Each structure stands twice: as structure tokens, then as C-alpha cells.
Chains A and B, each alone.
Chain A
Amino acid sequence: MKHLIFLLLLVPFAGAASLQLSVSKPDRTLTMGDKPVFESVLTNTGARPVGSVVLYISLVNLDKGSEHPVDLEDWSAQKAVHLDRLKGGAVSKEQWPMRLIQSGHYGLFVTAVTGTDARPVTSEIVLFDIQPKKTVIPSRIWPVAGGVPLLLLFLMALLRFKRLRATGR
């Protein structure tokens, strides 16, 4: 009887234990603006099928002093995937295209949540760096930011001068 109770207690965790999740990053230097594709592999190592699995990606900025989770709104159009069923022994590969918005040191991981298990399954964190890219060219902005108001001021002064000359003052 004791053995039976022990086995019954293990049942809720049987599904969770049967899922294995890993994620890989592209093998190249990543720069702001790049669109790399990360790949996750979900394996059902158990014999029983697992139903309704939700997979989602998470990104964390790990820059020293400003560590924070990243809102993926601008980074990824595909933030989650739903699998109706994963048979025992089956493997599901998912691709996670991303657009790298900001430079820094990051960690990415994928989480699988099933409707039946209390514990989510999480992959290991993949660490990577995004190299900065110059998004603003100051030599283009300074002349415009100073030049246009100065040009308009010059026009105003010219008009005033012309008017004063016309009135003979």
C-alpha cells in the first residue's frame, strides 16, 4: 500500500520529467540589426504522449548593473508556440527568429509549460553578446539642427532690414 501511495504521488511529475528542452544560438558574431534564428529542441523522453505544450522564449539583459528581462515586442514576432501533442520519444524542433535591437550581454532560454504539469521545463541559458552598431550619425544631425534655425533667423533679419529700408528708417 505504501508503495502504491508513493507511485501515485509521483504521477503528477511523470509528465514534467519526460520533457527535455535545449536551445542553441547561431555560431557567428551578432551585431545590432542582425536577424539570427535560435533553435530549440523539445524531446519527450517518456513513453507517454504529452498534450498541449506551450513553448515560449525569454531574453534577459545581463549587463552588469542593469540586469533586466527584455520586453520582446520589438525583438520577435514569434514569442510562443503551441504544440497540441508530443508523442512519447518524439522530438519537436522550433525556430525562433529574432531581430537584435540593442547591444549588450544577453541570456536566452526557452520554457515549456504543459496543461497537466505543475512545473515548467526550462532549457539552459544560452549566453551571447550583441555588438553595437552606430545608429545615429552626429555629423549629419549637427549641421541640420543648427543650420535650419539659423537660416530662418537670417531670413527674418533680411525681411526686417528690407522693410526698414523701404520705410526709410
Chain B
Amino acid sequence: MSPLLRTLMKKEMMELFYSTRGLLFFLLISVVLSAFSLMLVTNTELSLLDNAQALYMMSGIVLVLTMLIAAVYGSDAIAGERERRTLSVLLVTPLDLQSIVRAKLCFVLLLYVAIYLVGLPYFIAVGSSGQNLFEGLIYLFFLGVMLSLIFSAVGIYVSLSATSYKAAQTIMLVVVLFSASPLLLSASLRQSTLGRVADYINPFADAVNTLDAVIIDSEPFSQQLVRLGILAAITLLAVILPLYRAKKELS
């Protein structure tokens, strides 16, 4: 990684991790997870699956937040810099647009790791007396990595072509809303052929369905291969899109 690229990453990290606003965001995540954990402690009629259910729901919360943050950050990545008139400053450095896109993607990954680390003590406290904690944590980590890459990359792609940050953000919020359809649609609607296809091509649905299958239904890795394969392919495609677009803009 070039020193300039490292400086750019550092700037992004300082803005988030060393600001009260950035920490407030992590505080909110921890408060939501605390509320969930306490609901579990105060429930006196627990079944064997309630830990797993709580772990699954907490993982879902982390994934939703990751998706939302990656989308908002991605939409701000270029359009925001352009509006703040900082993009031209960045472009006069030896950094090209492709490197900036790469640095932004790396930062979103770091952001996800930070969210995951905030959630980790909760997952262990709740899930250690239940089932599939270890498997759930491994799957959650990789699913979160893929989702953060997909939504930030799509956000950056939209950001590259949008006329304003507001326009890019609006488009990305619609994308997030569509992606969150598994949370809005009933199970019976999702059981139809169209619903199943939509579930397979929706990366967020793939992620939550995989977590459901692994944490609650204790399904083996072999049964997750189709969904994970689709997710990996979407991730690859999503990452290539803004990098290709940035290269094209350069030429």
C-alpha cells in the first residue's frame, strides 16, 4: 500500500474512530445489542433455541447496519468528496481515481470489522450456552465482509455517476430498502417461485438465510454452497464495477 493511500485511509479512520460522532454510532449499536441480550436474560421461559434465535437476530442487526452504513458511505465516497470540493485536491496527488476507490473499499471493510468487534462480546455472552456459536461467528464475519464490499462498491459506482451526493444517497437507500425485503415480506410470499429467485439474487437475503440455516437449523457447509457461491459472485462483480468505471473515467 502506497504512503498516500495509507494517508487517505488514516484520514477516513480519524474522521470516524477519533470523533465523538463516530463513537456515538458504535454506542448506538452496543445499546441495541444490550437491549436484545437483556430481553433474553429477563425471559423466564426459554427454549433450547432461544439463544440461537437471539444470536441469529443479533447477527441480522449487525448485517443490516453494515449494509446501511456501507451504502451510505459508498454513496458519499466520490459524490460527497466532489461536493465538498475535496475530490480535486485528492486527484492532484499521485493517487488516481482507482486507488481512491480501492482505499474507500478497504475503509468500509475496516469499519465492518469494528462493528463485528463491538458485537463479539454480545455474541459470546449470549451464544456460549447455546448452539453453533463458533460456526455462526465465522459465517457472520465472512458474510459481513461480502455485504460491506457489495453495498459500498455499488454505492461508489452510483456515486461516480451521480450528479450530487443527495441523488447517490437516495438511489442507495432505495437499493437498501429492496435488499431488506426479506425482513418486510412474509415467509409465505418468499416461498413462491419468484420469491425464491428474489431471495437467491438478493445478497442480504442470501446472508440472513445462510445464518438462519447455520445457527438455528445446524445445516452443514455443503448445504450453504449455492448461496455462498452466489454471494461471492455478486461481491466480485460489485467490486469490479466501480474499479472499471474509475479506470474508464481516467482514460
Contacts and interface: CB of A to CB of B under 8 A. Distances in A.
B34 A148 contact: yes
A152 interface: yes
B184 interface: no
Nearest to B18: A159
A20 B24 CA distance: 67
B48 A141 contact: no
A137 B125 CA distance: 8
Contacts of B20: 156, 159-160
A133 interface: yes
A142 interface: yes
Interface in B22-44: 23-24, 26-27, 30-31, 33-34, 37-38, 40-41, 43
Nearest to A152: B27
Q: Interface majority SS on B: helix, strand, loop or mixed?
A: helix
A102 interface: yes
Which size class do A's interface residues fall under? 20 to 34
A101 B23 contact: no
Interface in B45-63: 45-51
Contacts of A64: none
Given A145-B34, A148-B34, A149-B27, A136 B122 contact: no
Given A148-B122, A149-B34, A136 B24 contact: no
A138 B34 contact: no
A137 to B, nearest CB: 5
A143 B19 CA distance: 26
Which size class do B's interface residues fall under? 20 to 34
Contacts of A155: 23
B126 interface: yes
Given A148-B34, A148-B121, A135 B47 contact: yes
Contacts of A101: 47-49
Nearest to A143: B125
A37 interface: no
Interface in B114-135: 118, 121-122, 124-126, 128-130
B181 to A, nearest CB: 23
A65 to B, nearest CB: 12
Contacts of B51: 135-136
Contacts of B45: 102
Contacts of A99: 48
Nearest to A138: B41
A144 B49 contact: no
- Identify the interface centre among B24, B38, B48: most chain A CB within 10 Å of its CB: B48
Contacts of B26: 152
B31 A141 contact: no
A152 B40 CA distance: 22
| 9 closest cross-chain pairs (CB), A and B | A102-B47, A145-B34, A144-B125, A152-B27, A148-B30, A140-B125, A144-B121, A145-B37, A149-B30
Interface of A: 32-33, 74, 99-102, 133-138, 140-149, 152-153, 155-156, 159-160
30 contacts: A32-B47, A74-B49, A101-B48, A101-B49, A102-B48, A133-B48, A135-B46, A135-B48, A135-B50, A135-B129, A136-B40, A136-B43, A136-B46, A137-B128, A137-B129, A140-B125, A141-B38, A141-B41, A144-B122, A144-B124, A144-B125, A145-B38, A146-B34, A148-B118, A148-B121, A152-B23, A153-B27, A156-B20, A159-B18, A159-B23
